[in-house]
Structure 1
């Protein structure tokens, strides 16, 4: 199945580079490449993308606000943020707004294809330095929520892999267990954290310092 991708980026050169990268992959169909997210609500409803790539720093409507708009229309639609800078505040705001992943543009040519596929498998792809920054933003003190979560060691390990952008298949390979076993553990994690998706689990893990 061809993956339908919608791109927003106000930098013409970077947008053209991403257009070429996506269009050359036969597994993707680039629906549109927009210079800003002013029409994001109409675009989502009319074009019906499978994945959205969103520049975080744009005029008129910035990437974080665009993610909030998308979430109000379809909170299951994965949005991968693209940025030049791994700025702490923007990263955190984007994740809290509902972003599914966060890729630095300087690594986009290497990471974006796998990130798109990963996010559709339930993963939360992030450039490694971004994942580390996100974890460093959170206070070290344990929260009451962490004490109550009752995650097992295996569940905590799997949650940590999710935070670092691993897909179910990659987690299975790292832990030498089946994908079905990974799904079983992730369902338990969702139940214990009272969430319904990988994005929500990652966001909660980051905010409540669960890993």
Structure 2
């Protein structure tokens, strides 16, 4: 089985480089590449990808707007945001839009491929600098969590915190000394309680509602 990848990036050289990289990998194929997010739903309908590589800064319709539109029809489609920016507002907007991972464009190709596989396995890859930005946003939201608001258990809050830190399911399992399947079950419960369908949505709620606090 090959993962079907679509690229949204206004830089043709970068689109060509990404397509070439993906074509060299046995378990991936590029099924579409576009310079912006105009008619984004039509493009997704046509290409039927498993994963979207989405640039943030594009003309006409940018990546954050594109993800928001995609989520109206494809709430579970995997999306990785790519950016050269380290701006808090853009990171926060990308999280709220519901992307599954956030990777800087200058990330090494092998790390990008690892991140793509990780997100397909249910993880939430982040470049270290992006993870730090997320943590700073969580620290800013220094409010007290009321357990009755969402009825999250102590373990679910712990796992939600790890998700916000960019941990993969495997990393969470190791940190919590539980099985991968148990992590999957907890995250499914988190999604149900928060009424979201993606890691990005869960982290967005966590940040906006002050559900977690990073020491």
Q: What is the TM-score when the length of structure 1 is the normalising length?
A: 0.88
**Higher relative contact order (Cα pairs below 8 Å, separated by 6+ residues):** 2
State the match for 2:5 in structure 1: 5
State the match for 2:204 in structure 1: 203
Q: Secondary structure at the match of 1:119?
A: helix
State the match for 2:114 in structure 1: 114
The 2-side partners of 1:68 and 1:160 are apart by 24
The 2-side partners of 1:127 and 1:178 are apart by 25
1:99 lines up with 2:80 in the alignment: no
1:151 Cα shift? 4.0
The 2-side partners of 1:33 and 1:20 are apart by 12
State the match for 1:159 in structure 2: 160
1:83 Cα shift? 0.6
Q: Secondary structure at the match of 1:36?
A: coil
1:142–1:10 Cα change, 3 Å: same
Q: Quick check: 1:83–1:105 contact (8 Å CA) kept in 2?
A: yes
The 2-side partners of 1:194 and 1:114 are apart by 29
With 169-178 and 79-88 compared, the bigger mean Cα shift is at: 169-178
Q: Secondary structure at the match of 2:174?
A: helix
1:137 Cα shift? 2.5
- Report Cα offsets for 1:45-88 as digits up to 9, x if no partner: 11100011011101111111111121122111121111111111
Aligned length, in residue pairs: 211
Q: Quick check: 1:36–1:61 contact (8 Å CA) kept in 2?
A: yes
Point out where structure 1 has 5 or more consecutive residues left out of the alignment.
none
The 2-side partners of 1:164 and 1:199 are apart by 12
1:176 Cα shift? 2.8
- Report Cα offsets for 1:126-185 as digits up to 9, x if no partner: 112112212313434315556734544432332222123323223223333211221232
Q: Secondary structure at the match of 2:107?
A: helix
With 148-157 and 9-18 compared, the bigger mean Cα shift is at: 148-157
1:48 lines up with 2:48 in the alignment: yes
1:71–1:185 Cα change, 3 Å: closer
